[in-house]
Amino acid sequence: MKKEFLWGSSISAGQCEGGFESRSETVVDMIPQGKTTRFQYLNHPGKYLEEQEGFFPSRKGVEFYEHYREDIALYAKMGLKALRFSILWSRVFKDDSLTPNEEALAFYDDVINELLKYGIEPIITTIHFDMPLWVVKKYNGFVNRQVISLYQHYIETIVNRYHDRVKYWISYCEINVMNHALYMVGGTVLKESEDRDSVLLQCAYHKLIGNAILVRTCHEVDKDLKVGCEVAGTPTYPLTSSPLDYQLMMNEERRDTRFTDVMVKGKIPYYFRKELNDHGIDILEEDENLFKNNTLDFIAVSYYKTSLASHEGVKDNPLLETTPFGWTIDPKGMRIMLNKMYERYEVPIMIVENGLGTYDKIEDGKIHDDYRIDYLSKHIEQMEKAMDDGVEVIGYLTWAAMDVVSTSEGMMSKRYGFIYVDRNDDGSGTLKRYPKDSFYWYQNLILEKSGKKE
């Protein structure tokens, strides 16, 4: 393991930042808490964006905005070498006026400086399911080509401000999750008269242009900046040896590789070109040149689970155990995913999310989360096997550094962190932070793996 390997963790603004009064709303601020997946919110034609009844957990998050010094001190105590966080576009630009909010920029200055003070590498995601609501209301998100220039202005603002201190940039969180979360990832609300696939493909095409512009912007400012985009790495196995299941698996994989092929190879693959053509999406020569000349330096990937392709559609693998939230647990799938990705692209891979979302119990200020330690150890073991296979992995960042509002359900009680945050599903709680057993385990692991332990 190289000395500079980034052992770290991740958080996102929309799930932890809060500070609602000093910014404008994001897409997740508008999704009420609910047990059915929030990824699906506004996903069907006929639903329109309007103020809903209910409790909106993302508006408060876990108040990282107020607690960031204390939180970063805890991350430093844990020994994190890297922290991935997202900047809120809706804090930097509260609306589509061209002048950024200086108070917001100063806040992120502080966050970055605080991380650097402890030797923690800051890794920035420019949008993590937290697109400004004004982009949705006024432009209907990435389906509208005009949004690319708004995004460009936003990223130029933050890259110019932070490039001297931030080397790693990630355009978007899980671009491929847009396949089933058009509103949360694309910022687009589907209208009744519209064909979902056409809208999705148009959004995807525009987001890919935005990604290439981030690569160009960063490299123009400093050729040593490293740019990635996060994809959800969810391998699909065929249910049986039937050629039909294999074909279905291949189709499923292409829904993801259509993004990475463009971003890493700089070329629209034939199957994606066909889809775009079939749906009447214009492919401009200038866009193709942009893709070609601005490819990613690394792939950022999240890994949580795997699934099965069968004639009944995509389903869960009955041979695998699941978390209390029904997510399959498949550490070996991590090695497979990393090998497949590296075989196809041969660029460095940074794991930017991996973790167990489950209920924790706090007793006398202690949280004995041996189940989380077990989950993470098994995944790290498989990552190391993939590295022995020859895959170039440059970092392992868990989800999440501390408990945050879950994306799917908007719940606090689905916890992923090394640090327990005293906040309940109904928003009550002191917001006090408590290191879990896994905090000390990770602290020790980082020391050992970095050769700093006798």
Indicate which residues carry an active-site annotation.
174, 353
- Name the one range near ligand BG6 by CB under 6 A: 366-374, 389-397, 400-408, 427-435: 400-408
Q: Is 84 in the site for ligand BG6 (CB under 6 A)?
A: no
Rg, the chain, Cα only: 21
Q: What are phi and psi of 353, to 5 degrees?
A: -155, 135
Q: Report residue 19 as tokens.
A: 């500070």
Residue 57 binding ligand BG6, by CB under 6 A: no
Q: Is 401 an interacting residue with respect to ligand BG6 (CB under 6 A)? A: no
Of residues 30 and 290, the one with the C-beta less far from ligand BG6: 30
Q: Which x/- pattern over 172-191 shows residues binding ligand BG6 (rule: CB under 6 A)?
A: -xx-----------------
User: Which CB, 232 or 336, lies closer to ligand BG6?
Assistant: 232
Q: Identify the DSSP state of 329.
A: -
Question: Judging by beta carbons within 10 Å of its beta carbon (0-12, 13-18, 19+), is residue 409 exposed, middle or buried?
Answer: buried
Alpha carbon distance 16, 423 (integer Å)? 11
Contact 233, 337 (CB under 8 A): yes
414 binds ligand BG6 (CB under 6 A): yes
86 near ligand BG6, rule: CB under 6 A? no
Query: Interacting stretch for ligand BG6, rule CB under 6 A, among 66-74, 255-263, 369-377, 406-414?
Result: 406-414
Q: Which of 101, 157, 406, 438 binds ligand BG6 (CB under 6 A)?
A: 406
- Residues in region 297-316 near ligand BG6 by CB under 6 A: 302
The CB-of-420 to ligand BG6 minimum distance in angstroms stands at 16
User: Would you count residue 256 as binding ligand BG6 (CB under 6 A)?
Assistant: no
Q: Report in angstroms how near the CB of residue 274 gets to ligand BG6 at its nearest.
A: 28
Q: At what angle do helices 196-221 and 243-260 cross, to 10 degrees?
A: 40
Kindly give, in sequence order, each residue whose CB lies less than 8 Å from that of residue 392, ignoring residues fewer than 6 positions away.
Answer: 342, 346, 347, 348, 349
424-435 burial, b if ≥16 CB within 10 A, otherwise e?
Answer: ebeeeeeeebbb
State the sign of the Cα–Cα–Cα–Cα dihedral 209, 93, 16, 38.
negative
Comparing CB distances to ligand BG6, the nearer of 172 and 442 is 172
Binding site for ligand BG6 (CB under 6 A): 12, 15, 129, 173-174, 232, 302, 353, 357, 399, 406-408, 414
